[in-house]
Amino acid sequence: MLRSAGKNVAVNRSKFIPPKVPLQVIHGRHGNALLLARHRLANQATCFRLVSTATTSATPKQTDSKIPPPNVPTRNTKKIELKPGPVKPTALTLHSIPPQLPSRNATKKPHYHPPCHKHPPKPVETSLSAVALAKQDIASASEHGVLEPPPKDATSFKRFTHQAFQLLKFYFRGLKAINMHRKQVSAIRSRAKSGGTLPSRAELRFINTYTQDVLKLLPFLVIVIIAEELIPFVALYAPRMLPSTCVLPGQRERIASKARNSQLTALFNHRGVFEAICRAGKQSGFVSLNNLGNPGAVCSLLGLASWGPSQLHAWRIRRHLNNISADDAMLRKEGHGRHLTITELKETLLERGMIPVPDRSLAEDLRAQLNWWLDTAEVLPEGSDPVSRRLLMVGLIGSQK
């Protein structure tokens, strides 16, 4: 019993050792060294215990294999499943970013200003008489397949009667087209009233064209019944009297060319009127319709009729600019004219007094001019309305600044 007690040193009772006690090493039996650690506390005695160490056994125990050695990381025995996972993003460096080529739109400056015309329009001169122009329009319509050409071996009388009959058929088909348009317009309006999709910009313009054709229908019928041969002369001297469905291709081109020439003439002949409009709205950002000195010049630039008193001119300008304001809202809603063709873009610009120039007739240039109008008209200063704001923009276009 004493031998077993000699193997292990019993734990002594707690002894109080005064401070500054040197480190002592006590040797026990079987050569086991016990190190007495000294813990020093300020102004207090240090309490320590003698801890006995047991002799290691030669045969390892079953639990020793489960205890990992110190400072050795434990091995994860969990089975790892190899599955494809998301690629972790790597840090981008300056050399890892591929160089980007400058886009075409970034290098090219946008043309956000109205077109500028440096030369006055050339007067429309033709050596052909009215009868020769009428014959030329009929021949052009026959080439385009609008009218059936006369037989090659027909006499002059048969040729004249054949052309008169073909013109009568053409005008009759035009009147039938107006009736078909009436049904289409009725269907569009019924769809909108029943809670369906609202009319698009193209449908609204179609309704507007149909309304104008209905107003021209009665005087046109009178001319057809009384003297059908006078219709080509009406197309020359009074093209606004013809419905859109009763105009030959040659007549349509000549009417558009004459209208564009009239707008250019007003642009150069009434430059002082448009400069006065710019000066009047320089501070406020808009111009009242009642302050116009020459409303007839504004009508000519916008492609409106310029006959009649100034009160009638003001009424035409107000109605036209209100329609343009509604059309601007539809253009913004449908992507700022992104899907319009070149012909539609030119027509849209001409309605706003902007006559395209030859060196800026590409689709992107025309859309840039339209964007200038839409962006400028969208800003309404205090005290202005859509008509007064757009009237100042017409002055900017006419002043060519």
Could you say which DSSP state residue 83 is in? -
**For residue 126, pLDDT beyond 50:** yes
190-200, pLDDT tens digit by residue? Answer: 999 998 899 99
CA distance 70 to 55: 20
**For residue 151, pLDDT beyond 50:** yes
Model confidence band, residue 281 (pLDDT cutoffs 50, 70, 90): confident
Model confidence band, residue 350 (pLDDT cutoffs 50, 70, 90): very high
**For residue 165, pLDDT beyond 80:** yes
Determine contact, residues 281/392, Cβ cutoff 8 Å.
Answer: yes
| pLDDT for position 35 | 38
| pLDDT for position 118 | 67
CA distance 157 to 151: 12
- Which residue, 293, 317, 296, 399, is CA-closest to 354? 399
Whether the CA torsion 294, 331, 177, 172 is positive or negative: it is positive
**For residue 207, pLDDT beyond 80:** yes
Whether the CA torsion 235, 239, 242, 245 is positive or negative: it is positive
Model confidence band, residue 367 (pLDDT cutoffs 50, 70, 90): very high
Mean pLDDT of 269-286: 89
| pLDDT for position 233 | 78
**For residue 115, pLDDT beyond 50:** yes
In this structure, of 124-133, 141-150, 213-222, 370-379, the range with the lowest mean pLDDT score is: 124-133
Query: Where do the structural domains in the chain lie, given as residue ranges?
Result: 126-243, 248-400
In this structure, of 60-64, 287-291, 297-301, the range with the lowest mean pLDDT score is: 60-64
In this structure, of 20-29, 135-144, 272-281, 382-391, the range with the lowest mean pLDDT score is: 20-29
Q: Which residue has the tokens 């009417």?
A: 255
Q: How far is CA 322 from the centre of its chain?
A: 23
> Is the pTM above the cut of 0.75?
no
Collapsing DSSP to helix, strand or coil, 304 comes out as coil
87-106, pLDDT tens digit by residue? Answer: 444 443 333 333 343 344 43
| pLDDT for position 251 | 85
Higher-pLDDT residue of 23, 184 = 184
**For residue 111, pLDDT beyond 70:** no
| pLDDT for position 227 | 77
55-74, pLDDT tens digit by residue? Answer: 444 444 444 444 445 554 45
Residue 322's Cβ-count burial label (10 Å; 0-12, 13-18, 19+) is middle
Using only the alpha carbons of the chain, give its radius of gyration.
48
